[in-house]
Structure formats: C-alpha cells, structure tokens
Structure 1
Amino acid sequence: MMVWLRSLRAPLCVCVLGSLFLVLLFRLAGPPLQDDHKALLEETRKWRAELDLLKLNLERHKDKDKEKDKELKLEAKLEPKLEPKLESRPEPEPDLETLLRSNEDENWAHGPECAPYPRYENLEFHSPHFQKTQHGNLTYYLYGAYYDRRPRVAELVILAMITTCTDNHPPTYCQMWFEGETLPELVPLHESKLAWFPQWGQGEGVPFPTLLTFQMQSPRQPQLVALVFGNGCAVPQNALKVIQPPVLEEERVKAQPRLRTGICVKYLRFPDVDISERLVEWLELMRLLGAGKIRAFDIGQLHPNISRTLAYYTRPEDGLLELRPYQMLPTFDGKTELCRQLNEVLLYNDCLYRSLYEFDYVAVMDVDEVIMPLGRQRSWPDLLEELEAADVNCSARCGYCFSNVYFPKELAPDPKMESCFYMLAHVTRVAEHLDPALAAKCLHNTAYSTVMHNHFAIQWRESCGPQHVDVEMGQMQHYRHVDILETLVKPPPKLDDNIRRFQKQLMRNVRAVHRQLGWPGAT
C-alpha cells in the first residue's frame, strides 16, 4: 500500500500545481475587483523597487571588489620597487675609528702585502684633531686630507703642521686606499706648499702650516690616505679620511645663476666678555651681503651666552654658521703670538678646501670686519659680477682685495641708535684708508686660490694675482681701535653711514633673532 502511495506522489504534485496555475490564470484573465487590482499593482511596484535596490547593491559590491583587486594588484606591483628605495638611503658616513676597525679583521688588512691597511692602534693622536708622525728630525702634525679636482690632473692635498719652513722633505709617499679594494695606490710627493713666509717669523721646533700635494694616478677618489716616508710599502702610522667633493651631477642641480659667497673666520676666543649682540648684528649683516655660510672654529673659550647665541645659527633650520671644534697645538716660550698666527693660517686653508665646490668666492675675515660694497651695489654677488665684467685685462682672477679703514670705538657713536646695534651706531671713521698692502682683506676665487693667508692668497694657479679694488667700489670696514692714535683727530674723521642702506632690514632681522633667543627687552 505504502509503495503504491509513493508512486502516486509525483502525479499528485503535478495536478495540484496545475490546478493552482489554472485558478491564477482565470483570476488574471477575468474581471478582477478594483481593490484587488490596485493591491496587485502596488505589490508589483514594491517587488520591482526591491529588485532594483538589490541589483544596485550587488553592482556596488562588485565595484568595491574590483577597486580592492586593483589596489591589491597595484600594491603587488609597487612592493618590489619600495624595497630597493629603502635600501638605497645613504647611511651616515663612518668616523675614522669605525672605518679602520670595520676592516681590521680582513686578511688583507694585516698581511705581508704592500702595504698593510692602517690600524687604529698604530695611530698617535696629539689632540682630537691632529695625528702625529715623525721621520728623522721632522715632526708632522696631520690635520686633513682633501680631493682637489681643479687641476688638469686631480690632486690629493694633505694639510699639516710640519716643523720646518723649508721644502726639504724626505722621500714621501701617500698610500691611497679606495673603498672595497685591498691594495693601495702608492703616489710620491708632487709638491709641498708653505702657507707662510719665513721672514714673517720662525723658530726651532715650531710647526708651520704646509700643504702636501700628490697627483692622482686614476680618476677615482680615495676613501682613506696615509703618509709614509722612505718606502712606499711602509706600515702606516697615520690615516686620514678624505673630504670628498660633491658629485658633478649634484653640482649641476644645485647650480645657481648668481655667484655663491662664503666666509672663513678664525677660531673664536671670547671667554669673559659677552659680545652676543655684536655677533648677531654682524651675522645678520653678512647674510644681507650674500654670505651663504660662515665657517668658524671653537677652541672652547666662549662666554656661555655667546655659545647659546651661536647655537641658534648652527641649527639645521638656519645653517648660516658652521662652528667646528679645534684644539691648538702647544705654543713655544717666546713664540706665543707666532704660534697663534700659524694656527690661524692652518684653519683658513682648511676652510678654503672645504669650500672649493660650495662657493665661488670666500672672504677671510674677523667678526669685527665687513667687506662693504659701495656705490650702487648692495651685495657681494653684485659687486663681484661688476668687478669681473670690468676686469678686461685678465681672463681669470684669483681674488679681489679691499683697503682697510677703521671705524674706531673711540669716535662717539650715534646717541639716537640703540646700543644693540654697534655698527649702525658707529658711522664715523678715520679720514684715510690704510695702504692696500697693509691689513687688506679679500674675496678669494675658489677656482684658482691654492694657499691662503689672513690677508691675501699666497699661491694660486692658472690665473692673475689678486686685484686691489678702488675705494669708490668697496672697502673693508674695521670696527676696532686704531693702531695710530693720531689718526683719531688728524686728518679730521669723516661721517660714513653707508651701512644705513641696510638699516631697516638689518634692524628687523636682528630684533627677530633677539625674540627667538628670548632676550629681555626684545621687541
């Protein structure tokens, strides 16, 4: 019986569904009631609206899925490119000790080959800034190494203090080590250049600033150099990291239409007197004149407020001042002033070689001096462009020098000027400029100057010598006491307020710095 009923299940279902279909068809075909018809239409509209909404939501989800797929594909494409970018970021340059110790475990660093790599334990530091090397009766205090690509054959220059003021050096070699290589190039001394004239002063055992030059044998730039004597394969007792020039492509990107100017200042020594206000006025005037950077040296003898003030200018956000630490070599009895001057000359040459590719001209000045453009020119770049254009008798000039004229503190300042503006207040000077051969200061062309002194270039290459600039075009304003007291009254002093051309902007800039430093009374 059960089997028979199961066999009828399918035909019964078909009959029931067919009957329902006929009833529905009859209802639709017959004359429906008006209310039923309206209800049916309303239900149909709702059903279609819900169906349309469902389709819309489905489409939106599809679009979102497509966008997500695109993003995932894009990320997949970008991921391989991001990794090399992160890896190619330049790492901080290792210091000398880190560089030497990173190679000391390599077999080639202490093998019998010519020559072994320098070892940090073999170096003798006379101070944090000098390495001491001796040969015979000469002592070499090595300070820096610089790659100079200005000559037709590029040179490696080692700056040192050497206990001789002659060029009588033993056979000298430079071991040049290149990054990633296990053997150095051995290069003999090409030339020694004394940054001093012996007639200015000398003494037994006194070290003199000297530049030792070595001609490169390949276009590569060494990473590390060592100075050895007698035998080029000798075990080095010193090692200097080479100060590298910028890449040529980087220079082209940074090229500016105007001449770039910088300043070299000797070590700063103001332990007891706070001259912060004068320094701010001077620094801001240098900025207005066109100085891109000022390099100076800190020997640890600065008034606390001066250190705080200078720190404002060494910040990366400002960058006008680069203050490098320095410790002077010991002085000799009776030769203190001579040794002081010799240390200054060493630092001026270090500044020159650090500035070779950063600036077109550098001024060597003290913080109480101003090379002031006169006439219609108001900046060093403008003045230099005019001087170069007028220099028709020389295709290349190593520098332009300006006569010294004193604006002494003994002559009364303008009482109407605020005390924090020392130079703006002192606008009365002695009547006459010094002779151009005395105490002049220069703007030196970094393309040609090779050896520097406080007042002029001692040596230069492939150019004419320095030119004296007429006092109608520029002068070196010296804000200090006079050497000859008679000049305070004879001839009668003159009013020279050319600095007032910068007064409005200079005062605004100086006051802004005072506010930043939080000085009392800053407005």
Structure 2
Amino acid sequence: FVEMKLGQILRIGFSALLLIVVLLLLFYNRIVEIIGTTFYSFYKLNSYNNFYTELQVTARLLDHQHQLSGENNSITANSSHHYRVIGSDCTHVSNVKQILYSNIYWQIMIRPKHTSVFLYSSYYDNRTLLNNNPVIRTITIFKKLSKHDIIYCYLWFANDSYAIISRITLISRASWKEFWPQKNSYIITCPVPHKIRHKIPLSVSISRNTCGPITNLLPVVNNKPENSLKKDFAICIKALDYVDVDISLYMVEWLELLFLMGVDKVFAYEYTVHSNISRVLQHYVDIGRLLVTPITLPGDAPNDPVQRHKYLEKTKYDDKK
C-alpha cells in the first residue's frame, strides 16, 4: 500500500514537472522579454533620477503678483483653456521613482477599470499657424475615450520645483483608420499658458487628476534650430520590421531617389531589421540625412522580434478583411 502511494506521488510529481517544462518552452520568449524589460526599466529609472533628481512639488505659486483666484485656483485664458499651479493643498504628487514603463520606450497613465494610456513622446509645437500660442503634443496609444474623461498636462520647467497644470484641449486620431481592435493611436494636445508662452517646458506628465500621483514623465522635444535655415521637405516612414529579410539594396535605391526628388531628411522608426539594413541606415544617419528612432509595441503585445513580426503581419492581414 505504501509503495503504491509512493508510486502515485512520484507519477504526479513527474507530470507536474513535465507540465512546467512544457509551459517554460512555450512561453520562453515572453518570459525573457519581461525579465529584460524589467531590468532595462530599472536602469532607466536610475538615469532619470540622476537627471531630474526628485522633482518633488513645493507649495509656492508661479508668481506672487499673479496669484490665482477663485475656488478652483484657475486662470481663464478663454472659454476652453484652464490653467493652475500646484498649490499648498497638493502634497502627494509623486516623484520620478513612481514612473511606470511599458516595453522600454513607453510610459503609462493609469485609467479606471485597469485601462491604460501608453505615452511614447512629447513635442513642443510653436509653428506659425498657431499665432504664438504654443502647445505640447504627445503621441499616445489607448482605447477610445469616454465622454467623461478629463485629462490634464503637468508642465515642468527648468529650475522650477512646481508644475503648471494645463487642461488638454484636443485629442486627435494619429492614423486614418483603426490598426488594432483594442488600441488606437492619438495625439494629445495641451496649450502652454499664455502668460508663460515664452518658456519651453522641460518635461510633461499626463494625468486624470489635478492633484494626485503621477506615473509618467516625458522629456519635451524641441528641435527647432535657432540660427539656421528651415528645411523644406521631410519624409516620415512607419516602423521598420524586417527581421530576416534583407532589403538593404532597395533601401539605398529608395533613399537616394527621395534625396534626388528634393527630400532634405528622412525620419524612420525601427522595430528590428536585418544587419545589412542597419548598416545602410547608420550610413545615412552619419551623414545627417536620416534620423532613426527605436520603438516597441506597448502593453501586452509581443516584442520578441519573430513573434512581433508575426503579430504585425496578422494585424495587417486582419485589417484588410
């Protein structure tokens, strides 16, 4: 009887061990990806700590002679723009240690019911058509917004330990049709308050709260040259995904044709490409005709190069149905 029980226990234990091995083999790529992303995020958090220190909010206003008035501490620029400075009643705005990352290059704004807004990058926009009313535009991916969603930008400036809060005025689709059934790309726009329009924010945080934990902090990109001529013609291309296919010769032909047609610079995003393509891209980067920006898929989408390629191909196929 004892031998029979022992045999059953050994068989159950062996079956469980075999099941664990099979699961590890099936999800090996995903496990490696999660571990790698965790370590990279920890490294990136340390880098941000060195640059931004703690960014803890103090209780002082922007300027005592322009103190905010009213119950909501708001300055009304017009009927749709409301701004405020974080005041003494706001003491729990988080520091940089609480930033949430997703797959290396994305940051996260948490929404109710465990839905997330994935933030990629933010840009300072002060083009002529804006009539000297600059805005910050942030590239994001998330599900469709509810009519009840109200989102704010925390604008952080150099040498200041407080933030200016600006309510978002525009959320526009960044693509002409839905790419993922679950997520879509949007550009979030928030204005720089008129009274400080001459100042360029150092970074921006996106939040649903005017006073609460912040889980993201994006550097604001401002590449406008001060003392050089503006270029006329640029091309932006989708993320390159050529894991095993070598199209380096076609890439050279295509880029040279663009330059012959008058293109000044090409901007490209890159998932994973063949080594020969990488060398071609690096050549044009070195001569100043190309800018390559790495990118991943946010959230629970696969980012192992092979699995991601299959996922993107399937998504494109499903989109054509």
Supply the AA of the counterpart residue of 1:280.
V
Gaps of 5+ in 1: 1-94, 342-523
In structure 1, C-alpha distance between the alignment counterparts of 2:135 and 2:244, rounded to whole Å = 43
TM-score, with structure 1 as normaliser: 0.40
Q: Determine which of 259, 263, 281 is the counterpart of 1:287.
A: 259
Counterpart in the other structure of 1:157: 137
Supply the AA of the counterpart residue of 2:125.
D
Counterpart in the other structure of 1:322: 291
Supply the AA of the counterpart residue of 2:107.
Q
TM-score, with structure 2 as normaliser: 0.63
3-state SS, counterpart of residue 291 of structure 1: coil
Query: Quick one: structure 1 residues 274 and 339, their matched pair in 2 at CA, closer, same or farther if it must change by over 3 Å?
Result: closer
Counterpart in the other structure of 1:225: 204
3-state SS, counterpart of residue 254 of structure 1: coil
Counterpart in the other structure of 1:427: none
Supply the AA of the counterpart residue of 1:176.
L
In structure 2, C-alpha distance between the alignment counterparts of 1:323 and 1:103, rounded to whole Å = 26
- Does residue 147 in structure 1 map to residue 96 in structure 2? no
Q: C-alpha displacement at 1:201, in angstroms? A: 6.6
1:15-52 deviations in whole A, cap 9, x for unaligned? xxxxxxxxxxxxxxxxxxxxxxxxxxxxxxxxxxxxxx
Counterpart in the other structure of 1:432: none
**1:107-118 → structure 2 map (5 Å cutoff):** 108=57, 113=88, 114=90, 118=94
- Does residue 277 in structure 1 map to residue 256 in structure 2? no
Counterpart in the other structure of 1:210: 186
Supply the AA of the counterpart residue of 1:254.
S
Counterpart in the other structure of 1:242: 220
1:417-476 deviations in whole A, cap 9, x for unaligned? xxxxxxxxxxxxxxxxxxxxxxxxxxxxxxxxxxxxxxxxxxxxxxxxxxxxxxxxxxxx
The answer on whether the counterparts of 1:267 and 1:299 sit within 8 Å (CA) in structure 2 is yes
Gaps of 5+ in 2: 1-43, 61-86, 303-309
Counterpart in the other structure of 2:162: 183
- Does residue 305 in structure 1 map to residue 276 in structure 2? yes
1:214-271 deviations in whole A, cap 9, x for unaligned? 1221212111111111x31212111111111426xx2xx4226xx6111111112222
In structure 2, C-alpha distance between the alignment counterparts of 1:202 and 1:280, rounded to whole Å = 31
In structure 2, C-alpha distance between the alignment counterparts of 1:178 and 1:303, rounded to whole Å = 40
3-state SS, counterpart of residue 263 of structure 1: strand
The answer on whether the counterparts of 2:152 and 2:206 sit within 8 Å (CA) in structure 1 is yes
In structure 2, C-alpha distance between the alignment counterparts of 1:338 and 1:323, rounded to whole Å = 25
Supply the AA of the counterpart residue of 2:228.
K
Query: Quick one: structure 1 residues 238 and 163, their matched pair in 2 at CA, closer, same or farther if it must change by over 3 Å?
Result: same
Query: Quick one: structure 1 residues 197 and 319, their matched pair in 2 at CA, closer, same or farther if it must change by over 3 Å?
Result: closer
What fraction of aligned residue pairs are identical, expressed as a percent?
23
In structure 1, C-alpha distance between the alignment counterparts of 2:297 and 2:105, rounded to whole Å = 9
In structure 2, C-alpha distance between the alignment counterparts of 1:107 and 1:197, rounded to whole Å = 40
Q: C-alpha displacement at 1:126, in angstroms? A: 0.8
- Does residue 170 in structure 1 map to residue 139 in structure 2? no
In structure 2, C-alpha distance between the alignment counterparts of 1:197 and 1:276, rounded to whole Å = 29
3-state SS, counterpart of residue 277 of structure 2: helix
Query: Quick one: structure 1 residues 290 and 309, their matched pair in 2 at CA, closer, same or farther if it must change by over 3 Å?
Result: same
The answer on whether the counterparts of 2:179 and 2:315 sit within 8 Å (CA) in structure 1 is no
Supply the AA of the counterpart residue of 1:222.
P
Query: Quick one: structure 1 residues 125 and 227, their matched pair in 2 at CA, closer, same or farther if it must change by over 3 Å?
Result: same
Q: C-alpha displacement at 1:171, in angstroms? A: 2.0
Query: Quick one: structure 1 residues 110 and 267, their matched pair in 2 at CA, closer, same or farther if it must change by over 3 Å?
Result: farther
Q: C-alpha displacement at 1:196, in angstroms? A: 4.2
The answer on whether the counterparts of 1:268 and 1:299 sit within 8 Å (CA) in structure 2 is yes
In structure 1, C-alpha distance between the alignment counterparts of 2:157 and 2:216, rounded to whole Å = 16
In structure 2, C-alpha distance between the alignment counterparts of 1:161 and 1:313, rounded to whole Å = 29
Query: Quick one: structure 1 residues 107 and 172, their matched pair in 2 at CA, closer, same or farther if it must change by over 3 Å?
Result: closer
1:85-112 deviations in whole A, cap 9, x for unaligned? xxxxxxxxxx885454444457747999
Counterpart in the other structure of 1:438: none
In the alignment of these two chains, the number of paired residues is 233
Supply the AA of the counterpart residue of 1:271.
V
Q: C-alpha displacement at 1:174, in angstroms? A: 0.8
Counterpart in the other structure of 2:235: 263
Supply the AA of the counterpart residue of 2:220.
V
In structure 2, C-alpha distance between the alignment counterparts of 1:292 and 1:216, rounded to whole Å = 30
3-state SS, counterpart of residue 264 of structure 2: strand
Q: Determine which of 138, 163, 173 is the counterpart of 1:194.
A: 173
In structure 2, C-alpha distance between the alignment counterparts of 1:142 and 1:136, rounded to whole Å = 17
The answer on whether the counterparts of 2:202 and 2:219 sit within 8 Å (CA) in structure 1 is yes
Q: C-alpha displacement at 1:136, in angstroms? A: 0.8
Supply the AA of the counterpart residue of 2:186.
T
The answer on whether the counterparts of 2:265 and 2:290 sit within 8 Å (CA) in structure 1 is yes
Query: Quick one: structure 1 residues 224 and 290, their matched pair in 2 at CA, closer, same or farther if it must change by over 3 Å?
Result: same
Question: Relative contact order (alpha carbons < 8 A, sep ≥ 6): 1 or 2 greater?
Answer: 2
In structure 2, C-alpha distance between the alignment counterparts of 1:276 and 1:202, rounded to whole Å = 29
